[in-house]
Structure 1
Amino acid sequence: MTTAPELRTLARHFDRRRFLTVTGAAAALAFATNLPAAGSAAAAALDPAKIVKDPFTLGVASGDPLPGSVLLWTRLAPSPYESDGGLPASRVTVQWELAHDSRFTRIAKKGSAVAHPEFQHSVHIEVKGLDADRVYFYRFRAGQWISGTGRTRTAPANNARLTEMRLAAVSCQAYHDGYYTAYGHLADEDLDVVFHLGDYLYEYAVTAVGGNRKYTDRRLPAHYNRETVTLDDYRLRYGLYKSDPDLIAAHAAHPFVVTWDDHETENNYAGDTPENDVPPEEFLLRRAAAYRAYWEHQPLRTPQQPEGADMQLYRRRQYGRLAQFDILDTRQYRSDQAYGDGWQVPGPESEDPARTLTGATQERWLVDGWRESKATWNVLPQQVTFAQRKDRATPDYKLSMDSWDGYPASRQRLLDGWQSAGQDNLLVLTGDVHVHYGFDIKADFDDPASKTLGTEIVTSSITSGGDGSDKPANWDTYMAANPHLKFYNGRRGYAVVTLGQDAARAEWKTVSAVTTPGAPLTTAGSFVTEAGNPGLKPA
């Protein structure tokens, strides 16, 4: 395991100019962790028959559906709370099957893959040659052990004329803040796909009793009771999070499309700028470790495999002619937060036109994609609140410098690009803030009478922030200060969006508690926005 002092020593071997290149970052990670390149056969092979404990403790997952392809994931970890996952540093051959039925009597595809120790014995299977818009079932085998069964679904053909699709948006699942009850309910939903909008992992310490979970029947190892810094730390934390049975059930039930926010690495980092006062070179070593562990533990395709401290996570997915999804990364390329971060009075620093939340390349990619889109709905799964959000209705209001409010010129460029693209139906999906919001996106947020350009659906957290309440203390203030805010609820849960040809329906689902398991599910709000006539209206 590489310790924090060792990281500081290693960082000094790389000058800043070299480190900030992909090549330099990749070399630094290899130097720091002694990990060979992907696909290396250097490690000896382990006979799967010698695996004496169930290696599928972290479940199975699928993701990034395409019309004829889906990505299947698992990781072998007989002992997920140990650094090596309970396996030696050896290659293991894993068998996989994809079938038309859950009993696997009609096999569609099958094969084998090697789980490399260099990638924590995770496997990413890109299955091709499948039917479009088709439900499949999948499983893995290693020796005598067979994984649980996963259910996935390919995307429709790009030119398919769909009448409807149903998706969910989730985010923010701090393990130490409570139980993943919402994921148990999500597993029972009828969905085409789930979008995870960030904070899948938190870097903060988890106590022996699991924080707010208050375990009485077991104790977590002491190495969880510290902040994640090294590759070993991040891998162990994923082992803890992904061992949760409700999260396992949600992944097994639906394909996920994932993107990160800050806590998968460190709170409120911006590009190569850390939250705390450490050298950028040291932070980029940490970022490289975090990005590698993220890819190892998510159902992501080969183009998303990181190179050192760099990883292209933004990408486009199509669901027939009904929806185009442009999945953003608003963390890796952003300018540092203005005025030292937090809630601040906006001014010249935050309003500097040079500031960006997406980086210029991603911004051009997004606007160009809008111009070429043939979809009824253009959906933007991303991380932080897009609409303006004043903290009070008086002229001395403050805005969050970590959200799009801290980058208004960047937001305006996107809204200008949206209008120049000549599209009608913009739908932004957002996480991060641990509450449910429903916003109208205005051409001028300071003028309630200005044109409504789209809709923002903000999902609450799965657990982060504890139990919450239906009406947080600032409910009246926020509703008065932001007339484009149409819905606000502070409980934990997720959002379900049904896209149709004529309208989109948003349902905000909540659970009454996360600090105790088994809470029931409630639909706290239901709104619609009409195609060609944006703006949220009660359903």
Structure 2
Amino acid sequence: MVSTRGIGSTRRTFLTVTGAAAALALAGNLPEIEPARAAAPSSGRPRDPFTLGVASGDPLPDAVVIWTRLAPRPLERFGGMDYRPVPVQWQVAEDERFSRIVKEGVAEARPEASHAVHVDVRGLRPWREYWYRFRAHGQLSPVGRTKTAPAPDAAIPELSLAFASCQAWWEGWYTAHADLAARQHDLVVFLGDYIYEFGIDRGVRPHSGEDYVTRETVTLDEYRNRYASYRMDPDLQAAHASAPWVVTMDDHEVINNWADEAHPSAPPAQFLVRRANAFRAYWEHMPLRAAQQPQGPDLQLYRRFRYGKLAEFSVLDTRQYRSDQAYGDGSKPPGPETKDPARTLTGDAQEKWLLDGWAASRSRWNVLAQQNALARLDVQDGAGVVVPMDTWDGYEASRSRVLGGARDRNVRNLVSIGGDLHRSVASDLRLDFDDPDSPAVGTEFVGTSISSGLDGMDLDPGGATLLKENPHIKYCNFQRGYVSCSVTPERWISDFRVVDKVTVPNGTVSTRAKLLVEDGRPEIQTL
């Protein structure tokens, strides 16, 4: 097992074992497949440099990050750009026609960041819609819509929120993203598995047998190409352009089921180089602040956002600090290892940050935005209990400290939102999942995947088992989609939007269920 309490020694080993290349990674100048050199100059009419669209994220009452990446040939090395800095003009306006520009400037798209641009636009007004765009090489980008957070003491009447996860490009079309974009939420939260690192044979989409999709991602160039292949999708671009996003990663942004410095694919020192490559490409393609820029294999991803008096979002990182999975991973009966208080899903520092934040919160709704299911998932039909070791079930003491900490701090209206399962699961969060009469301290909505898992069905055998064996689970569905939420001081409504088919374009999106949580009443009701 890998301890999360002595990571400094492993970092030193990482430097010692991997030498100069690792030192570059730790400094943020990551090793490439080959020495960097200028791309061949283009000829003829200039190509569109904004093939990957625009995005915004991490909204504050007076600020938001706006993002783009210059990539006229997105699947070529450095996106087809020359290896030199490029000035990029940016504008933020109060109207879509840009007749009322409130902020503008010039950013530098640098080759070592693959010509990505992150502008932390400050001096904006709270709880306002804005539009933004970029100009480079004489061409304008698409226009994006964003919205700042409310002032900390504002009493806003409603928050429109969407959350999503798990979008394996080769397994389906992004019809759910098109629907999400059309709704123009105040905020979108993406809970991990933005890309998949797998090497595959081919998928359901045209061109899904190409090398940039089928090759497993290990190097920085390969991770960059994987993000570019996803970012080229027009529905994903529309979803990014429709609202500010708050993002966190799960496992597939690096490799399946990684845990801190441990993965069976490589020794820790070698794995950390891969992790540094993955983190760098992730930051380059997400609307994140400079504070989230990785330092080699380290990325400060957990953070908090407040939406006036209405809601506070605690965004977790449940990969970077966790103990290795118990009993060799997979689904197993719980035992002494899953109950070991020395094992953690969040690491000590993040757990303390979470509980201290809850103790200070005065928000009506306290949202835990994290990667998978906090509720217990007994997946065995009949006698006995079998649970997945990669979720909170494999870290029972960690879960007990979080749920018990919420109770002890009188956290108001705890709502966990999660992903990872490729199915929708809605649960009451109880202090003791073995006792149906145990007090509920919150509720949880786990959203299904955008496309991972192909079309699915309304209720598969796995979902039927979950409903039968887990009385705290109130709803299951195994189709693709996302969750659109309306949050007011009196109630939280989760609208589970599902797609009939993702294996063909232009599927039909509909509401499968509307689930309600009332203020001060931690139990899920069906509307």
What TM-score comes out, normalization by structure 2 length?
Answer: 0.93
Cα deviation, 1:143-171, whole Å, max 9, x if unaligned, reads: 22110000000000011011110100100
1:423 maps to: 411
Partners of 1:25 and 1:309 within 8 A in 2: no
Matched, 1:145 2:139: yes
Aligned equivalents of 1:469 and 1:60: distance in 2? 33
Alpha-carbon deviation of 1:397?
A: 2.0
Matched, 1:230 2:242: no
Cα deviation, 1:245-272, whole Å, max 9, x if unaligned, reads: 0000000111100000000000000000
Aligned equivalents of 1:43 and 1:83: distance in 2? 10
Give 3-state SS (helix, strand or coil) of 2:222's partner: helix
Aligned equivalents of 1:335 and 1:26: distance in 2? 28
Give 3-state SS (helix, strand or coil) of 2:461's partner: coil
Cα deviation, 1:50-76, whole Å, max 9, x if unaligned, reads: 981001000000000000000000000
Alpha-carbon deviation of 1:49?
A: 12
Q: Structure 1: where are the runs of 5+ without partners?
A: 1-13
Partners of 1:25 and 1:285 within 8 A in 2: no
Q: Which amino acid aligns with 2:222?
A: D
Matched, 1:472 2:466: no
Alpha-carbon deviation of 1:364?
A: 0.1
Give 3-state SS (helix, strand or coil) of 1:461's partner: coil
- 1:351-362 residue pairs with structure 2 within 5 A? 351-362=339-350
Percent of matched pairs sharing the same residue: 49
Cα deviation, 1:459-515, whole Å, max 9, x if unaligned, reads: 000000110000112233221100111010000000112111111111110000111
Aligned equivalents of 1:160 and 1:439: distance in 2? 30
Q: Which amino acid aligns with 1:66?
A: L
Q: Which amino acid aligns with 2:516?
A: V
- 1:273-312 residue pairs with structure 2 within 5 A? 273-274=262-263, 276-312=264-300
Partners of 2:184 and 2:242 within 8 A in 1: no
Matched, 1:111 2:100: no
1:495 maps to: 483
1:262 maps to: 251
Cα deviation, 1:190-247, whole Å, max 9, x if unaligned, reads: 411000000001001255xx6111x1xx576424321100101100100100000000
Aligned equivalents of 1:61 and 1:47: distance in 2? 27
2:473 maps to: 485
1:406 maps to: 394
1:11 maps to: none
Alpha-carbon deviation of 1:532?
A: 0.6
Aligned equivalents of 1:419 and 1:254: distance in 2? 33
2:193 maps to: 199
Matched, 1:211 2:211: no
Cα deviation, 1:14-34, whole Å, max 9, x if unaligned, reads: 994514689x99971516999
Partners of 2:160 and 2:186 within 8 A in 1: yes
Partners of 1:326 and 1:380 within 8 A in 2: yes
Aligned equivalents of 1:397 and 1:36: distance in 2? 45
Matched, 1:461 2:452: no
Question: How many residues were matched structurally?
Answer: 515
- 1:126-137 residue pairs with structure 2 within 5 A? 126-137=120-131
Q: Which amino acid aligns with 2:139?
A: W
Partners of 2:212 and 2:229 within 8 A in 1: no
Cα deviation, 1:382-421, whole Å, max 9, x if unaligned, reads: 0011001101353422000000000000000011111111
Partners of 1:49 and 1:142 within 8 A in 2: no
* Aligned CA distance change for structure 1 residues 21 and 388 (closer, same or farther; 3 Å): farther
Counterpart pick for 1:58 among 49, 52, 70? 52
Matched, 1:317 2:305: yes
Partners of 2:63 and 2:123 within 8 A in 1: yes
1:7 maps to: none
Matched, 1:94 2:99: no
* Aligned CA distance change for structure 1 residues 121 and 362 (closer, same or farther; 3 Å): same
Q: Which amino acid aligns with 2:194?
A: Y
Q: Which amino acid aligns with 2:470?
A: N
* Aligned CA distance change for structure 1 residues 94 and 220 (closer, same or farther; 3 Å): farther
Aligned equivalents of 1:380 and 1:409: distance in 2? 18
1:182 maps to: 176
2:149 maps to: 155
Aligned equivalents of 1:502 and 1:20: distance in 2? 51
* Aligned CA distance change for structure 1 residues 44 and 407 (closer, same or farther; 3 Å): same
Q: Structure 2: where are the runs of 5+ without partners?
A: 1-7
Alpha-carbon deviation of 1:81?
A: 1.1
2:376 maps to: 388
2:502 maps to: 514
* Aligned CA distance change for structure 1 residues 165 and 21 (closer, same or farther; 3 Å): farther
* Aligned CA distance change for structure 1 residues 338 and 107 (closer, same or farther; 3 Å): same
Alpha-carbon deviation of 1:84?
A: 2.0
Aligned equivalents of 1:212 and 1:199: distance in 2? 19
Aligned equivalents of 1:158 and 1:291: distance in 2? 31
Alpha-carbon deviation of 1:324?
A: 0.5
Partners of 1:322 and 1:501 within 8 A in 2: yes
Q: Which amino acid aligns with 1:482?
A: N
Q: Which amino acid aligns with 1:529?
A: V
Aligned equivalents of 1:287 and 1:111: distance in 2? 33
Partners of 1:48 and 1:92 within 8 A in 2: no
Alpha-carbon deviation of 1:35?
A: 3.2
Q: Which amino acid aligns with 1:77?
A: A
Aligned equivalents of 1:333 and 1:193: distance in 2? 27
1:338 maps to: 326
Partners of 1:29 and 1:289 within 8 A in 2: no
Aligned equivalents of 2:128 and 2:455: distance in 1? 37
Q: Which amino acid aligns with 1:95?
A: Q
1:538 maps to: 526
More displaced stretch, 221-230 vs 173-182: 221-230
2:4 maps to: none
Counterpart pick for 1:125 among 116, 119, 135? 119
2:516 maps to: 528
Give 3-state SS (helix, strand or coil) of 1:129's partner: coil
* Aligned CA distance change for structure 1 residues 17 and 53 (closer, same or farther; 3 Å): closer
Cα deviation, 1:81-107, whole Å, max 9, x if unaligned, reads: 112211111110000010111111110
- 1:49-88 residue pairs with structure 2 within 5 A? 52-88=46-82
* Aligned CA distance change for structure 1 residues 379 and 278 (closer, same or farther; 3 Å): same
2:3 maps to: none
1:168 maps to: 162
Partners of 1:48 and 1:142 within 8 A in 2: no
* Aligned CA distance change for structure 1 residues 378 and 143 (closer, same or farther; 3 Å): same
Give 3-state SS (helix, strand or coil) of 2:270's partner: helix
Partners of 1:382 and 1:429 within 8 A in 2: yes
